[in-house]
Amino acid sequence: TAHKETHGFQTEVKQLLQLMIHSLYSNKEIFLRELVSNAADASDKLRFKALSDDSLYENDGELRVRLSVDKDAGTVTISDNGIGMTRDDVIEHLGTIAKSGTAEFFSKLSGDQARDSQLIGQFGVGFYSAFIVADKVTVRTRAAGQEADRGVEWQSEGEGNFTVADIDKPERGTDVILHLKEDEKEFLDDWRLRSIIGKYSDHISVAVQMYKEEVPERDGPDGEKIAAEPAHWETINKATALWTRDKSEVSDEEYKEFYKHISHDYGDPLLWSHNKVEGKTEYTSLLYVPAKAPFDMWNREQKHGLKLYVQRVFIMDDAEQFMPTYLRFVKGVLDSNDLPLNVSREILQDNRISQAMRQGCTKKVLQMLERMAKNQPEQYQSFWQEFGNVLKEGPAEDFSNKEKVAGLLRFASTEDDSSEEKVSLDDYIERMKEGQDKIYYITADSYAAAKTSPHLEIFRKKGIEVLLMSERIDEWLMSHLTDYKEKSFQSITKGDLDLGELEDEESKKAQEQAEKDVEGLTERVKKALGDKVKDVKLSHRLIDSPACVVADDQGMSTQMVKLMQAAGQ
């Protein structure tokens, strides 16, 4: 080895290593999933790059991942002939964490083991999980298309630093060699490894192989001779991309495993939908809704989108063109038959095919949510808690699906005493009073403020339900939602409140009388307040409170004014 250097890990890597070794102790075997997953990604990347440069295959286009064990040395090796890494790649990828949301992840760590291990599961540990079972890891790699002497050896004991050195490596790709800890020798067992691979790797499209020793010639049950089997590399996974298989042949377990592979999430997904679309545009989609929101969902730079394949060839991660922003939590795979293999993000931007796929995928997700809302309301509620505020961006963003998204919204309401958002607009409409033609709502800074607003008094008295909105985004939402199922929305804090047919004759007379009684008073109040107010009016909405502030019908509501002020406008 030559040109050997020692580098320190980025602080975050050191922290992650510490945390991981302590918190993932009960789920050690995931290291194999991570490393095989990386090897499969490396094959995908090579296949993609070779589309435009065949020579990268170096006359070896049969991509595979191999697992081998050296019992004497106490090592397990995961070896691929994928894209490989250059010296710079190695230093960057195996010395730092380049994921979006890393800062947030570390800022959320609490020191509480149970909570942190949940979070770490969500974050994903990737390559560094090797140190759960190994006290030393050696990576030998050579990038596709480079000379044999451009190999690199990386080595670390998972503490503060790692070394990199130049080596000769004739075979393209990456070997990850795990020097197992004294008490992790169980992973030297052939059957143990096979069963883990079976569990984690069936859906991976590249072959995962293990070495099978020679089987000598032997006697069959009827005394016949069974020929000897020479030693060979045996493919132990199905090695077909999961989404290309028939729905009926894929088990829930496999769908869940595949989700973990593509999402880097350790938890199970909430639901998924697998579709082959034929006709004008042909594609397969496999879309997942996670159970938990990523901690960086509100980070503008958060990477999101689907994994894009064209005719089973991996093209890119995080293709965000296929999902509207309000569905950015959806994970999945899209495999197009129509897009060109050399498609770029720019081409996807305004392309007829990608637009058709985006529409189709959006529809699928909304459908799947609708179904869950209807058939598994409790599960839907847990979805809403995680993603409700994102979905509220829908009506503003997606005009054509406005009504569908509106049907998926949930609100707190005067109907019960809970701040939890669980009333749908359909629930509301079903409970509307005879003669009521509007959906009444109030927006406020907090649930408590909404619930105790004097504006509600008249509604409580008349037994009319009002939706109580107190999330920051609600005002924005309502400025884009004017009606639902032909019922218009009416803020109860805006302008003259016309209760229409809900008003009875008797109270109308009483109101006229009251108006006469206070003549002059409104004028005097208006004078006293000067230009602090636009107008002072007699109101019939208040029961217990003497006065309240309302916004002009055309103007911004008080809540919106506060929002704009907060935004520095």
Total binding residues toward ligand ADP, as defined by CB under 6 A: 16
The one of ligand ADP, Mg ion, none whose footprint includes residue 153, by CB under 5 to 8 A per kind, is: none
Distance CA 221, CA 170 (A): 46
Q: Which residue is nearest to Mg ion (CB)?
A: 126
Distance CA 364, CA 324 (A): 12
**Does 93 help bind ligand ADP (rule: CB under 6 A)?**
yes
**Does 174 help bind ligand ADP (rule: CB under 6 A)?**
yes
DSSP H or E segment with residue 370: helix 352-375
**Does 38 help bind Mg ion (rule: CB under 5 A)?**
yes
Q: Would you give the binding string for ligand ADP spanning residues 24-43, x where CB under 6 A is met?
A: ----------x---xx-xx-
The token duo for 167 is: 């080596």
Nearer to ligand ADP, 261 or 402 (CB): 261
**Does 494 help bind ligand ADP (rule: CB under 6 A)?**
no
Contact 106, 15 (CB under 8 A): yes
Window 111-130: residues binding ligand ADP (CB under 6 A): 126-127
The one of Mg ion, ligand ADP, none whose footprint includes residue 174, by CB under 5 to 8 A per kind, is: ligand ADP
Nearer to ligand ADP, 84 or 394 (CB): 84
The contacts of residue 237 (CB under 8 Å, 6+ apart) are: 197, 198, 201, 202, 204, 207, 208
Q: In angstroms, what is the minimal distance from the CB of 85 to ligand ADP?
A: 5
Distance CA 469, CA 467 (A): 6
Q: Would you give the binding string for ligand ADP spanning residues 225-264, x where CB under 6 A is met?
A: ---------------------------------------x
**Does 137 help bind ligand ADP (rule: CB under 6 A)?**
no
The full DSSP string for 130-185 is: GGGTEEEEEEEEE-TTS-GGGEEEEEE-SSSEEEEEEE---S-EEEEEEEE-GGGG
Contact 297, 101 (CB under 8 A): no
Q: In angstroms, what is the minimal distance from the CB of 128 to ligand ADP?
A: 6
Nearer to ligand ADP, 117 or 493 (CB): 117
Contact 8, 161 (CB under 8 A): yes
Q: In angstroms, what is the minimal distance from the CB of 238 to Mg ion?
A: 21
CA angle 13–26–90, rounded 5-degree value: 25
The one of Mg ion, ligand ADP, none whose footprint includes residue 93, by CB under 5 to 8 A per kind, is: ligand ADP
Distance CA 210, CA 171 (A): 18
Distance CA 196, CA 338 (A): 36
Contact 208, 64 (CB under 8 A): yes
Q: According to CB under 5 A, which one of 126, 151, 388, 394 is a site residue for Mg ion? A: 126
Positions that interact with Mg ion (CB under 5 A): 38, 126
Positions that interact with ligand ADP (CB under 6 A): 34, 38-39, 41-42, 80, 82-85, 93-94, 126-127, 174, 264
